[in-house]
Structure 1
């Protein structure tokens, strides 16, 4: 055998070996890919380094004071933006899992990129993140799929979807030995969400499940309007009023990109005995970036079952009741507002406050108003009771001094001329006639479709307007509606009261 022939044979043989290896490797990769959904958004929505990711999740969780909720936890609602934006809010939901054990987590979220008819239920394999793999509960997934022809497994709907993937690192850090059933769904109709909820509940058997709905809230409104829009959804959820939420979503008065996931989760939780929804944390991207022009809202909620003796005091506390603040409590809040503004405009840092007064730790709506030489210098607040009063005052002090789009940020050199006024609100109640409005006592909200506006009670006193002029200006100047829109039967009108107090001059 010639030397040239041997060399040619060797090259050919090695080429075949290399080709076989490539084909085999491709086959192995394809087989692996068919069983394991890789972390599509690692390195974008969250860190790709296992250590950095674990440290960031643990950091978010450590920032949340453990609040032991009464009753039995059945479901959570959590946001799904990049961790830099919504990770801290999500941590308020997942902190509730400390000490809990679940066999399977049902993950419900929207499909942002692929149209989905019905619901796509991921049926087999594993989902992988930098923190490891989580097994799909194929038995439960296939049982759900079997309940209706609109339930199916479309891998394309899950491949590039982030809404469920971003929940996994939090689950991996807070639970042990659990499986998942990922479901993407966009049909928010009452009939379909009830159908899917029934399928989940009837399929679970004796397994202990946790339901997680993934959604962000309002998108790309100015900071103040975002708080108003998200306040509507928060109120409906905390009142367990899905009919009202559905109406407000369809009318554009509230926004949830994962509306179908939320409806399904609440209905399934209700079938499992849930009777209470509690807001754990609300914030928006403006709180993180400082850019208040176009923000995205994030909320963390717990859905649970409370016994009668557990529910009554909890509900009263969460309604942002009508208890009046005494002079000492007023001074505490005014001090918090002043110290927050001073430190923030000088250093960019937010001071921490240790407050033990139960009334100041209740969730209340609040506005912080700034004046300079008798002229308005900024005014922003929460209409709805979104967080603890003293924390809301600190946050709104920052917003009114730096985030009111009508004015430039307060400068350090003008700080001593700033006068601070705080309005602590009751929860708005809808009225049937403007005759119910008491000028100088009631603040008023008008809402029609996407448009809404608010005047605090003191506006009537400060301007001397008649009721008709007050309502005309509210509609035209604040809600950007025709001046007489308050006469339209389609316009909703709400009133609230406020305890208003200011610094001693």
Structure 2
């Protein structure tokens, strides 16, 4: 067996005493569990350790694999430059993996110093690699390293990449351990890095209980809205690692879980791997993902169904649909209003365009027009392609009439959207957006979108939305 084990390991620098100092004691359970993983890996003595990290060169449309012969980095940006890692890359495995990915139509790129310079990002190892491996290095150093940074790709593609990773490892006859580096929810407490969201503890419970029950399919097929609302960074790492364990029975142990700083830290060991036909999970993964998408579609209301129909017809056939006769007798056939259509994929926002007042003959026609615009004319993104259509989540916001307000005290970013304007410049921000928790931040972003400096005189309008999902 060439895959020896797999692990979920968090990467909070605070868990290392040289960074966290007294705070490290608060996450002692995590540190002890990570040390236990280091001891287990030392006993297995792998030739290669593959670490899947969220914090390397992250692309929306491709998986990045570090390509330099020597991989090096430190925790200097966290005040602990003495925590330093330098390892030889398993270059042969990297090249084979990239080549096979191209053959299998999986987007992957070898990321070397030339690409680092082109994209103006660091070519050094990130803390998503260094923190977990610091606990390995305490017990074992005789291995080559492969770092993979997941792309913002659909779940089933990440899973397939994991399967391909194992195929390449086996082809090269290597003994390997895989580490999925990732923290769980970042929204467990208001005192954490983000505002509390009930989906945070729900997501963490989903993942931990799934591992406790050795239900790896359930881990991978977690609802995308739940993952997004939790503000996690480990799910896609797990998608790849569990894909690499496809066809293998595992003994799964949750070694620790805690979240004292508002971020969930889970340490999980998947060991005692044995080939099994019953453990081939890919078909169940695909079915689970498809069922999740079908359920979402079935729950869409008439506003969202109309936007989706407009997008699909235009992307597939360059055809602009007309408002169906049956909908002309509903609110969609009534007076037009300001409408924003937002499109998301597994990689996050994929397009968002709208109007602040009605510009078409009816509300339904406004939705059709803006849905097509959002899918083809948002300058931040390339046009949506036909292969993406099944993965899209769509929402439609119908705007109320704007109301002039005197200052920030009249705003609430969860309830009100804002429009800032001066002269011919105008910026708009919808309400209840992920990561925007204060009126100050909401106004700052709206001003930036409008090209208005904070010291300039400007007017603020607030509005509410009727959100359809």
TM-score (normalizing by structure 2) = 0.44
TM-score (normalizing by structure 1) = 0.41
